[in-house]
Amino acid sequence: MNPDEAFNWPDGDIILRATHGTHSRDFRVHKIFLSFASPVFREMFQLPRSSSATSDIDTIDVVGPSRALEVILRFIYPSTDPPTINDLTLLSQVLVLADKYDIGVARSRLRTLLVGFARTEPLRVYAIACRLGFEDEMKIASSHTTSIHLPGLTELPDEFKLIPATEYHRLILLHARYRKEVETIATAPSQAPLSAKGSFFGVDLGVVIGEAMRQPIVDCIRRGTPLSYESLALAVKTDHNIDAGTSSVGKLIRSILDKANALNLTV
């Protein structure tokens, strides 16, 4: 079936007109399915019909891309295949419609799909979840943003334009708390010192070298640079083979990052 012909049932008793910018598309569908899936639509259909109506079939304007409305209808109609959504922009648009019309049959599945994008696009997922009031998804997404250097971003995703500044501030506070925790990890006495044979005037050379290597790491954390293995290794500026991750310096950095990753802090 041609996508433009989907949900154009000859016996449909209601038209949903998706409008997005200058583009619009009509879907001729059935009130019974919409009523079952959405209490918002059900209440609309119970309103008395306008006496000025010139058509035998009513039209409801739905603000949003036609593709998003089509996906919603695929959730509503039991005879259609479950929609596959591999694009976060489309998912966001569909979620907005599902939330606006209280379509529960779609919302739970869509929220699960949203979490699936949290690892690869955490900032966008965080903003989308904030906009829709999805606290659990917002927390999950925020935990994946800690590896991002927020002050270094030249611009935020467009989704941040649709949420209050207070929600972005919550993210800033999370990152500050995260870096404080990582700094504590990096300076903890329990961190294994770098290995070095011998001593000098009774001082363990491994401990001395270890402390000397930790300070550049701590400075790197305090500067707000990205907390990755590469950035911390570069901050140490040592002749050790830190890229291979097999040297004492590399093991120290790995140990810090492993413990940092286990923090799982959220807003």
CA distances in angstroms from 189 to 117, 124, 184, 207, listed in the order given: 37, 38, 10, 10
Tell me the mean pLDDT in the region 79-108: 91
pLDDT in tens, 159-212: 999 999 999 999 999 999 999 999 898 888 655 544 544 444 444 434 445 566
For residue 150, pLDDT over 90 is answered with: no
Distance of CA 113 to the CA centre of its chain: 10
pLDDT for residue 1:
44
**Among 47-51, 88-92, 207-211, which range has the highest average pLDDT?**
88-92
pLDDT for residue 85:
93
DSSP annotation string for 89-107: HHHHHHHHHHHHTT-HHHH
pLDDT for residue 244:
44
pLDDT for residue 157:
95
Tell me the mean pLDDT in the region 78-86: 80
Number of CB atoms found within 10 A of residue 83's CB:
18
Q: Between helices 205-223 and 248-261, what is the axis angle to 10°?
A: 50
Percent of the chain with pLDDT over 90: 55
pLDDT in tens, 108-117: 899 999 999 9
pLDDT in tens, 221-245: 888 777 888 877 777 765 444 444 4
For residue 139, pLDDT over 90 is answered with: yes
The C-alpha atoms of residue 190 and residue 23 are separated, in whole angstroms, by 63
